Amino acid sequence: MRYRPLGRTGLTVSMLGYGASPLGGVFGRIDERAGIEAVRVTLELGVNIIDVSPYYGATTAETVLGRALRGVDRASYVLATKVGRYGEAAFDFSAARTVRSVEESLARLGTDHLDLVQCHDIEFGDLDRIIGETLPALARLRDAGKIRFIGVTGYPLAALRRVAAAVPLDTVLSYCRYTLLDRALATAEPEFTARGTAVLNASPLAMGLLSRRGAPDWHPAPPELRRAATAVADLCARRGVDIARVALGFAAAPTRFATTFVGSADAANMARNVRWALSEPDPDLLDDIEKLLTPVRDLAWPSGRPENTPIGEA
């Protein structure tokens, strides 16, 4: 495993992080014992940063993760969770709910402190309230020793930029924004880094677009992006390579990102993901993929309140 600094926090994290949403059954029912094994194997392979949220599986992911981490040296991993999103359309960024959410997460995860707490999917909230109420509430919890660092997450980079410009942040996390399909996060990275904010990348397979199975029905990608992703999957299959291997190796490579999160509730899948993240995609194949994707590169979809994603600034 390779390791990188987490911005200016003083922490060092693995280039591949464990995204714990599958522990909540987000992608289908899981066997809890298998999920616990997946976490343990992932840690044994050198992954040392874990990202979860009370939203994933309506607190199930945090509960299962807490069980998986019992008996594991607390100093051996960086634990991140979130506040603000609690259901598909259930958002509450109030200070009172933020404090209560952190307390609940501490109990579910079986720990006395959280290394990183992030405001979850901020584009669905009132950014002024997040700046003026949610983040100050987290700062008070940090001062009390219950959390160590503070960040925000979201899909539209415009929302992340606005909050990061207004409040000192330790991290920003975006998903699907640095993949074979979309490189926008790399363009925004220097702005965050200049402020001392670490950039976290998530969903290197673009929520299933870059997989042999293809995107689920609920995926928000426009038809032309789906078609392009299918064409890339077909190209990789003709070359005898799993598209997910290419996509993961590509997304995890840039050292400008502290880590790239990927998750599975299956230990063998996570071991494979670690191997793939450490592999280098064939440059000739990448060139051919680039040609296929040129017409749709960086094509984003709407997410959150319209005022948080101005046209042309996704």
pLDDT at 19: 98
pLDDT at 309: 84
pLDDT at 25: 84
- Give the chain as a 3 state SS string: CCEEECCCCCCEEECEEEECHHHHCCCCCCCHHHHHHHHHHHHHCCCCEEECCCCCCCCHHHHHHHHHCCCCCHHHCEEEEEECEEECCEECCCHHHHHHHHHHHHHHHCCCCEEEEEECCHHHCCHHHHHHHHHHHHHHHHHCCCEEEEEEECCCHHHHHHHHHHCCCCEEEEECCCCCCCCHHHHHHHHHHHCCCEEEEECCCCCCCCCCCCCCCCCCCCHHHHHHHHHHHHHHHHCCCCHHHHHHHHHHCCCCCCEEEECCCCHHHHHHHHHHHCCCCCHHHHHHHHHHHHHHCCCCCCCCCHHHCCCCCC
- Is the separation of the CB atoms in 155 and 175 below 8 Å? yes
Does this model's pTM top 0.85?
yes
Summarize pLDDT for 128-183 with one digit per residue, the tens.
999 999 999 999 999 999 999 999 999 999 999 999 999 999 999 999 999 999 99
- Read off the tokens for 135: 């983040």
56 included as an active-site residue: yes
Q: 241 — alpha (psi -120 to 50), left (phi > 0) or beta? A: beta
User: Which residues on neighbouring strands pair with residue 259, listed in sequence order?
Assistant: 200
Tell me which CATH homologous superfamily contains domain 3-308: NADP-dependent oxidoreductase domain (3.20.20.100)
pLDDT at 106: 98
Residue 218, C-beta contacts closer than 8 angstroms, at least 6 positions apart? none
pLDDT at 311: 63
Active-site residue among 3, 18, 55, 56?
Answer: 56
- Read off the tokens for 73: 């040296």
Which residue, among 178, 219, 183, has the nearest Cα to 202 in the 3D structure?
178
pLDDT at 254: 96
pLDDT beneath 50, residues of the chain? none
Summarize pLDDT for 184-220 with one digit per residue, the tens.
999 999 999 999 999 999 999 999 999 999 888 889 9
pLDDT at 291: 96
- Residue written as token pair 């440059």: 283
